[in-house]
Structure 1
Amino acid sequence: MADRTAPVTGRWFQAESDPDAPIRLFLFHYAGSGASIYREWLPLLPADVSAQSVQLPGRQDRLREQPFTEIGPLIDELADEIEAELDDRPFGFFGHCMGSLLGYRLATEIHRRGGPSPVLLGASAWAPVGFRTPPVEQLDVPEDEIVEWARGLGSLPEEILKDRQTLDMMMPTMRADLLVCASYQDDGAPVPCPIVSYSATTDPLVEPSAMVSWASRTPEYLGNRVFPGGHFFLHQETLSITADYVRLLRRRAGASG
């Protein structure tokens, strides 16, 4: 277990925002991105919640590392890292798109090992049924086609799309992350904690009824919050999502204490 009195920093995690806070929150980024997508969350968190963004290999400060391309080995490695990082404090998971998938499978894997469960799983823009994941064979396409796909989702700013050098640096990681998502095969596994989900009205990757599939995966489904926008509504609705998720997290952490 980690020493809760010292800042925690390592290749898999950003340092805790407040190591003395009584509640922990692990944040999982979406495909093609990195831990920095949650930088706007930190100023919004109350003093009793300490956040850490998980940083997968192949991006940002881990750019020189080989990214994972299959979900099984990634979950095994990440579960090892999370278990070594945990202490006696209650904790929550939150992820967007691929991050939701990772949070879900980590919760099931750590529980399978006999480890502690998060007190709350927040799943945004992904569901176990009704998410339109590109099949593996469709990802073996030229880089320009993946760029256009990402452009259509709004995941890449125009300044990046116009910068060939930056694109060349990002695309291997984007392709690898999409392969991780495509390698997932749903087995109906439940999680031993409450789940709250978040979705958008015009997300092209999430079918309208997809979020209902979370209800059978948890002993307590806390419902779905719907926001206007497309797949990356997370960035337009940061304040609302953070406030809602943290309210539920604090309530569940208090109940577990």
Structure 2
Amino acid sequence: MTTEHVTSAAQRWFVSARPRPDAPVRLLALPHAGGSAAAYIRWAELLPPEVDLAVVQLPGRQDRRSTSPFVDSETLVNALYDVLEENWDGRPYALFGHSMGALLAYRLTGLIDRIGGPRPVLLAVSGWAPAAHRTSDRAVEMYSDDELIDAVGAFGALPPELVADPQLRELVMPVLRADFSVLNSFVPDGAPVGVPVVAYAGADDPALPPGAMAGWAALTPDLRGVTEFPGGHFALFEHAMTLTADLTRQLRRLVAKPE
């Protein structure tokens, strides 16, 4: 389909602060657990005009708050596949995901490999690797709100004002519970992907043992680099300018302009 005709489904799933329909490549970004499209919107200012950024807005958050969030990774990945295939506009595209978003991008790429469809030219992952994936010791519904907030807060994901405000907590908790159910439902199987991968991580990320991101080399025919930034699990946002510059460099190499 053309960029002039975008279905209402795409408008719900994809958020674009600065649409660039004439850009030669798209970058589709997927959020972390509890996150929303807002996490990546400012990246549109950092990326050059040749990259069209679209951020996935998962159900249950912001303007999609009235839609029930997914609680199973495979069901969510299948839904992402359907929306992506239906609304692909013919341009090359890359997938980027941080933490849960990396899990979803990885499984989405694997699904495309298995059943066909427009393959991404690059899978970019941050803060998560299949070999380092760990599920919680209890089902998510067994955690109290305070316990779940403490678990998430250990990664630096929750601002203090959210924790202190009962109304904000009431809005956020259903999404957090759903997203952690998505994480718990994933069972690593060592499935490779047939596209290049580039990986990013915080050097002091408590979710990643040393060398975990290098494990992507076993899952791709082309690991194009592992970059570590100073900081923890959310170091990518502190180093967004450096990360987006590297993504741009990778995309320029993979989507070369014809002579």
> Shorter chain as normaliser: what TM range?
over 0.9
Instruction: Please point out which of 234, 240, 243 is paired with 2:242.
Output: 240
Structure 2 unmatched runs, 5+: none
Which moved further from structure 2: 94-103 or 80-89?
80-89
CA contact (8 A) 2:32 2:99 kept: yes
Deviation string for 1:146-189 (max 9, x for gaps)?
A: 11122221101112121110011101100110110110011211
Q: Distance in 2 between matches of 1:155 and 1:256?
A: 43
Cα distance, 1:7–1:77 mapped onto 2, change above 3 Å: closer
Deviation string for 1:7-45 (max 9, x for gaps)?
A: 775111114621111111100000001111001201011
How far the C-alpha of 1:5 sits from its partner, in A, is 3.8
Q: Does 1:175 align with 2:177?
A: yes
Structure 1 unmatched runs, 5+: none
Aligned residues: 256
Q: Distance in 1 between matches of 2:234 and 2:6?
A: 31
CA contact (8 A) 2:202 2:236 kept: no
Please report the TM-score for the alignment, with normalisation by the length of structure 1.
0.94
1:85 partner amino acid: N
Match of 1:226 in 2: 228
How far the C-alpha of 1:138 sits from its partner, in A, is 5.7
Structural mapping, 1:125-204, within 5 Å: 125-137=127-139, 140-204=142-206
CA contact (8 A) 1:136 1:182 kept: no
Instruction: Describe the SS at the equivalent of 1:57.
Output: coil
Match of 2:255 in 1: 253
Match of 1:114 in 2: 116
Match of 2:30 in 1: 28
Cα distance, 1:148–1:112 mapped onto 2, change above 3 Å: same
Match of 1:4 in 2: 3
2:252 partner amino acid: R
Please report the TM-score for the alignment, with normalisation by the length of structure 2.
0.93
Match of 2:105 in 1: 103
Cα distance, 1:22–1:64 mapped onto 2, change above 3 Å: same
Structural mapping, 1:56-135, within 5 Å: 56-135=58-137
Deviation string for 1:77-106 (max 9, x for gaps)?
A: 110001111122110000100000111111
Instruction: Describe the SS at the equivalent of 1:10.
Output: helix
CA contact (8 A) 1:79 1:106 kept: yes
Q: Distance in 2 between matches of 1:227 and 1:31?
A: 20
Instruction: Please point out which of 216, 219, 225 is paired with 2:218.
Output: 216
How far the C-alpha of 1:231 sits from its partner, in A, is 0.6
* Aligned Cα root-mean-square deviation (Å): 1.8
How far the C-alpha of 1:133 sits from its partner, in A, is 3.5
